[in-house]
């Protein structure tokens, strides 16, 4: 999402205005390049640089700051100004650290040097069904470490699914880092045919990972309740489960230290090929409920830089 400047920006020359917009757009290539720079060098530097970058991003992105503060209030209720400011800053710092660990670009330097996996038997049960597995996750700390873990220890190819970004350079930086980690990346748009590789991958017994805490532009969604308010879950993962018979496996990740993560897996959600609208609504609400429980336990590790 590109942030629009008010007041001063319209009077600036177009090239300078574009540079400033890139500076505060956390989804843009500028911050990806900076995070990649912070991931290079000796380990002490990789530990120290990303938190500084995160604090700078927090300082120059007021709209994103407000969005994080709004979301923290949804999760925890209002806190004192100092407590809220600290938690907002912690969210930016964790985001920068996770991004740098993924963008390291060195096949020998994995994003996770240690990972505690909870509920691993749920993954075994889902894989045993023989229809592939749809991992449903969210924009949380280190969610991309799951793919390398599966590839390394289970020899399972993971396909990450995302909506195409507007900044092509930012997309290339992120996608190249994921490919270095052994992940396949597919960008799904409004074209129904763009989902065909996902169907084939699942039918071949593969794993597809999608995030369910944002609804891509133009995508259909199911209404749910989260944190006592209306919210929406994208319908795509549910329809993919109906089409292929693959179970939906909720997996959420929290960062516990430098290159250290905790992966929480819960029981799979299954949808019949004849699933009714009510069944889809129930599955969507179940996913929302499990995400809500995770976020309540790790509120500063939910990178939802939007106020909805």
Show the 3-state SS of the chain: CCCCCCCCHHHCCHHHHHHHHHHHCCCCHHHHHHHHHHCCCCHHHHHHHHHHHHHHHHHHCHHHHHHHHHHHHHHHCCCCHHHHHHHHHHHHHHHHHHHHHHCCCCCCCCCCCEEEEECHHHHHHHHHCCCCEEEEECCECCHHHHHHHHHHHCCCCEEEEECCCCCHHHHHHHHHHHHHCCCEEEECCCCHHHHHHHHHHHHCCCEEEEECCCCCCCCCEEEEEECCEEEEEECHHHHHHHHHCCCEEEEEEEEEECCEEEEEECCCECCCCCCCHHHHHHHHHHHHHHHHHHHHHCHHHECCCCCC
Same domain, 266 and 118: yes
54 contacts 61 by C-beta, under 8 angstroms: no
Domain boundary among 54, 72, 102: 102
Same domain, 177 and 284: yes
Same domain, 161 and 40: no
Domain boundary among 53, 68, 102: 102
pLDDT of residue 28: 63
Same domain, 140 and 278: yes
Same domain, 67 and 143: no
Q: How many domains does the chain have?
A: 2
Q: Taking residues 125-145, what's their average pLDDT?
A: 89
Same domain, 158 and 276: yes
Task: Please report whether residue 1 resides in a domain.
Answer: no
Structure confidence by residue, pLDDT tens digits, 231-282 = 999 999 999 999 999 999 999 999 999 888 999 999 999 999 999 999 999 9
Per the prediction, the chain carries an average pLDDT of 81
- Residues 6 or more apart whose Cβ sits within 8 Å of residue 16: none
pLDDT of residue 8: 35
Q: How many CB atoms lie within 10 A of CB 295?
A: 24
Report the C-alpha gap between 3 and 51 in whole angstroms: 23
Task: Please report whether residue 124 resides in a domain.
Answer: yes
Report the C-alpha gap between 44 and 37 in whole angstroms: 14
Same domain, 80 and 171: no
Task: Please report whether residue 107 resides in a domain.
Answer: no
Report the C-alpha gap between 76 and 289 in whole angstroms: 16
pLDDT of residue 115: 78
pLDDT of residue 150: 77
Q: Taking residues 46-51, what's their average pLDDT?
A: 86
Domain, as residue range, for 198: 114-301
Task: Please report whether residue 108 resides in a domain.
Answer: no
Same domain, 94 and 119: no
pTM: 0.81
Task: Please report whether residue 307 resides in a domain.
Answer: no
Q: Taking residues 270-297, what's their average pLDDT?
A: 96
pLDDT at residue 35 is higher than 80: no
Same domain, 233 and 284: yes
pLDDT of residue 226: 94
pLDDT at residue 80 is higher than 90: no
* Distance set, CA 298 to CA 101, 145, 217, 218, 291 (Å): 19, 17, 27, 30, 10
pLDDT of residue 26: 62
pLDDT at residue 16 is higher than 50: no
Q: Taking residues 57-63, what's their average pLDDT?
A: 87
Q: Where does the pLDDT of residue 141 fall: very low under 50, low under 70, confident under 90, or very high at 90 and above?
A: confident
Structure confidence by residue, pLDDT tens digits, 153-190 = 777 888 888 776 666 666 676 667 777 776 777 777 65
pLDDT of residue 167: 64
Task: Please report whether residue 231 resides in a domain.
Answer: yes
pLDDT at residue 283 is higher than 80: yes
Same domain, 66 and 144: no
Q: Which residues are bridge partners to 185 per DSSP?
A: 160
Same domain, 161 and 287: yes
Domain boundary among 102, 126, 155: 102
Structure confidence by residue, pLDDT tens digits, 85-111 = 999 999 999 998 888 887 775 545 566
Task: Please report whether residue 218 resides in a domain.
Answer: yes
pLDDT at residue 74 is higher than 50: yes
Same domain, 195 and 153: yes
Task: Please report whether residue 168 resides in a domain.
Answer: yes
Q: Where does the pLDDT of residue 192 fall: very low under 50, low under 70, confident under 90, or very high at 90 and above?
A: low
């Amino acid at each position: 999402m590109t942030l629009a400047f008010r007041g001063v920006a319209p009077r600036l020359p177009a090239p300078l205005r574009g540079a400033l917009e890139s500076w505060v757009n956390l989804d843009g290539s500028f911050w990806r390049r900076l995070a990649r720079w912070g991931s290079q060098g000796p380990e002490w530097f990789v530990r120290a640089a990303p938190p500084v970058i995160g604090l700078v991003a927090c300082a120059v992105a007021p709209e994103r700051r407000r969005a994080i503060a709004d979301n923290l209030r949804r999760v925890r209720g209002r806190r004192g100004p100092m407590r809220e400011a600290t938690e907002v800053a912690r969210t930016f710092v964790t985001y920068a650290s996770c991004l740098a660990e993924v963008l390291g670009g060195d096949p020998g330097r994995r994003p996770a040097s240690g990972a505690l996996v909870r509920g691993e038997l749920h993954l075994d049960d889902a894989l045993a069904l023989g229809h592939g597995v749809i991992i449903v996750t969210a924009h949380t700390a280190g969610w991309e470490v799951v793919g390398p873990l599966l590839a390394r220890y289970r020899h399972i190819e993971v396909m990450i699914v995302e909506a195409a970004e507007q900044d092509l350079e930012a997309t290339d930086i992120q996608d190249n880092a994921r490919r270095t980690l052994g992940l396949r990346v597919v960008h799904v748009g409004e074209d129904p045919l763009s989902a065909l590789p996902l169907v084939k991958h699942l039918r071949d017994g593969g794993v597809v990972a999608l995030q369910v805490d944002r609804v891509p532009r133009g995508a259909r969604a199911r209404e749910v309740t989260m944190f006592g308010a209306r919210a929406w879950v994208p319908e795509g993962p549910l329809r993919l489960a109906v089409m292929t018979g693959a179970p939906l496996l909720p997996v959420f990740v929290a960062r516990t230290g430098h290159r250290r993560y905790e992966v929480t897996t819960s029981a799979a959600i299954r949808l019949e090929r004849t699933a009714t609208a009510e069944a889809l609504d129930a599955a969507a609400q179940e996913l929302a409920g499990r995400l809500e429980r995770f976020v309540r336990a790790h509120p500063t590790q939910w990178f939802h830089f939007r106020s909805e």
